[in-house]
Chain A
Amino acid sequence: MSMTMSQKILAAHAQVDEVRPGQLIMADLDLVLGNDITSPVAIKEFAKFGIDSVFDKSKVALVPDHFTPNKDIKAAHQCKMLREFATDMEIENYFEIGQMGIEHALLPEQGLVDAGDLIIGADSHTCTYGALGAFSTGVGSTDMAAAMATGKAWFKVPSALRFNLTGKFSPWVSGKDLILHIIGMIGVDGALYKSMEFTGVGVASLTIDDRFTVCNMAIEAGAKNGIFPVDEVALAYLADHCKRKPVVFQADADAEYDHTYEIDLSKLRPTVSFPHLPDNTRTIDEIGEVKIDQVVIGSCTNGRISDLRVAAKILDGKKVDPRVRTIVFPATQEIYLQAMDEGLLRIFVKAGAVVSTPTCGPCLGGHMGILAEGERAVATTNRNFVGRMGHVESEVYLASPAVAAASALTGYISNPETIEEN
């Protein structure tokens, strides 16, 4: 029987020759991830097993990134639980402030993700690693606890949607616009329980950072995972970061998909998700006048070096609107340092933006940029649900780093094509 790329990875980890959609399997995991919000619940559940070690100290990653640097006493307590558990269990991949970054940017950068891996994380955006040809998916704390104890997780084998990409992006259009376009097209439950597999000649033109962004938001269409084929771009990234040998799986030529969508990348426009769902998309040409109070550039979706470069290119030598609080979050320490070396941080500060330490903070309304009643933000983050970034009557507009930076300059949601470069 023919299989999709995702199904092949699941079959290999369940030690079976083939799997079919709907089948329930128990599979071996290559990595189990948790953060400072989900891990405390998992640690309590793990204790119920009454065992004194995790299944493999090198295959658990704990990243205190959500409410860190500790935003209050309760958050500090949760991080302390994480730290003590990591020490007690001799977890090799615990990342303290100073080494930590936003988990889904950090793990690939640290070489913990390889092509062909099966990864679960107690964070919904764990699906990011499909960019490198891994099957990765978000779970809850109890799954994380069970996985830390056994090294296994149960899966219902997903069917798949195929997105066949052709053409190349126009200037100022990026992976963010592609995934927002797709979510707008299929809806926030358009890929519910399914894989999103990206194929076609257009894939080659996507940078690895574009692919991370696309896979990161697969969950926003309800998907179990998003995945790209492992090509030269992915192999080059893996060669630079991961010490293990990549295991390349390919979908069978006659693999069955529930549906195939044809997408011409050259036809995409800068795209914005209006409140309060990611599928409420409009192209930049349909925006109208939307006045904003805050711009957030960063997150596990768009806090990578190429995102910062795009924002800096637009902000270079200019000033942000003095009424707009512009907050830039490099996703990891390495990205922060690289942005410093390239002079990007100087551009941001000179433009009147602030640059933060890596944290998930504002994306989920945790800290470092909360919105008041009636305020609006343009954010390069991933969700614009009611109250997501603060008050229940605040609004989040999701967009690319280019649109966010252009909007910071004008105080209105703006088209980067209209900003003159210095």
Chain B
Amino acid sequence: MNAKGKAFRYGDNVDTDVIIPARYLNTSDAKELASHCMEDIDGTFVKNVQQGDLIVAERNFGCGSSREHAPLAIKTAGVSCVIAASFARIFYRNSINIGLPILECPEAVQGIDSGDIVSVEFSTGTITNETTGKSWAAEPFPPFIQEMIAADGLINYLRKGVKA
């Protein structure tokens, strides 16, 4: 699986309240949540994002609430991968559990500007800024998590285990 698209660039501590404000959490409908994705930090995100685009952010992306609605909104909005210098731990866990690819790579984050075309090769963790030609290697996931991603999330991973 690979990803390629335009980068939407954000700073430190993008919290789950700005990814999906609580005023929209009276639903669990993924499409409705996606229609408000990033609304309180970037009012034009939903209008501009296209299937396959990437979010690139600095430290502690997804801090705050445990709302899985946040990675769900990002995934359903069409984002193919989030690259950050670091992730808040519940967001990290939730993304893996629902099958939203995320990569930690501080060096890549410094080398990507808003609007750059970025590609990601998940099998190797290679991130390439197609606009500048620079490449970086992200830290690969531990095997346990790779298996979970390959199974398309935690529930399928566990169901396989139950059947086996």
Which of the 9-residue segments A135-143, A229-237, A283-291, A313-321 touches chain B? A135-143
189-242 of chain A: CB within 8 A of chain B? 189, 192-193, 219, 222, 224
**Closest chain A residue to B91, Cβ basis:** A140
353-369 of chain A: CB within 8 A of chain B? 364-366
- Identify A45's interface contact among B69, B71, B155, CB under 8 A: B155
Determine if B68 is an interface residue (Cβ-Cβ < 8 Å): yes
Which of the 9-residue segments A162-170, A344-352, A385-393 touches chain B? A385-393
- Known: A74-B26, A78-B26, A385-B17. Contact between A142 and B153, CB under 8 A? yes
List chain B residues, Cβ under 8 A from A89: none
Q: Which of B18, B21, B65 has the most CB of A within 10 A?
A: B65
**Closest chain A residue to B97, Cβ basis:** A142
Let me know if B23 and A140 touch, CB within 8 A. Answer: no
Let me know if B59 and A189 touch, CB within 8 A. Answer: yes
Determine if B60 is an interface residue (Cβ-Cβ < 8 Å): yes
- A82 to B25: give the CA distance in the assembly, Å: 15
Let me know if A192 and B93 touch, CB within 8 A. Answer: no
Let me know if B88 and A392 touch, CB within 8 A. Answer: no
Q: Which of A41, A121, A126 has the most CB of B within 10 A?
A: A41
How far is the CB of A151 from the nearest CB of chain B, in Å?
A: 12
18-37 of chain B: CB within 8 A of chain A? 18, 21-23, 25-28
Q: How many residues of B contact A (CB 8 A)?
A: 41
Let me know if A192 and B86 touch, CB within 8 A. Answer: yes
Let me know if A383 and B64 touch, CB within 8 A. Answer: yes
Contact with B along A113-150 (1 / 0, CB 8 A): 00000000111101000000000001111110110011
Determine if B154 is an interface residue (Cβ-Cβ < 8 Å): yes
List chain A residues, Cβ under 8 A from B158: 49, 146, 149-150
Let me know if A365 and B28 touch, CB within 8 A. Answer: no
**Closest chain A residue to B145, Cβ basis:** A24
- A49 to B89: give the CA distance in the assembly, Å: 25
- Identify A224's interface contact among B21, B89, B98, CB under 8 A: B89
Q: Which of A24, A71, A140, A143 has the most CB of B within 10 A?
A: A140
How far is the CB of A155 from the nearest CB of chain B, in Å?
A: 10
- Known: A149-B158, A387-B40. Contact between A364 and B65, CB under 8 A? yes
- Known: A41-B68, A143-B97. Contact between A222 and B63, CB under 8 A? yes
Let me know if A38 and B66 touch, CB within 8 A. Answer: yes
**Closest chain B residue to A190, Cβ basis:** B60
How far is the CB of A244 from the nearest CB of chain B, in Å?
A: 26
How far is the CB of B135 from the nearest CB of chain A, in Å?
A: 27
Let me know if B66 and A385 touch, CB within 8 A. Answer: no
Q: Which of A38, A44, A121 has the most CB of B within 10 A?
A: A38
- Known: A138-B90, A149-B158, A386-B40. Contact between A41 and B69, CB under 8 A? yes
Let me know if B66 and A41 touch, CB within 8 A. Answer: no
How far is the CB of A265 from the nearest CB of chain B, in Å?
A: 27
A-B contacts, 9 of them at CB < 8 A, read A49-B159, A138-B90, A140-B66, A140-B98, A192-B89, A224-B89, A386-B17, A387-B17, A387-B40
Residues of B that sit less than 8 Å from A by CB? 13, 15, 17-18, 21-23, 25-28, 40-41, 59-60, 63-69, 71-72, 86, 88-90, 93-94, 97-98, 142, 144, 153-156, 158-159, 162
A-B pairs, 7 with minimum CB distance: A140-B94, A140-B68, A74-B26, A142-B97, A189-B60, A364-B22, A124-B66
Taking A37-B69, A122-B68, A189-B86 as known contacts, 4 extra A-B pairs with beta carbons closer than 8 A to each other, sorted by chain A number, are A41-B68, A74-B27, A388-B17, A388-B22
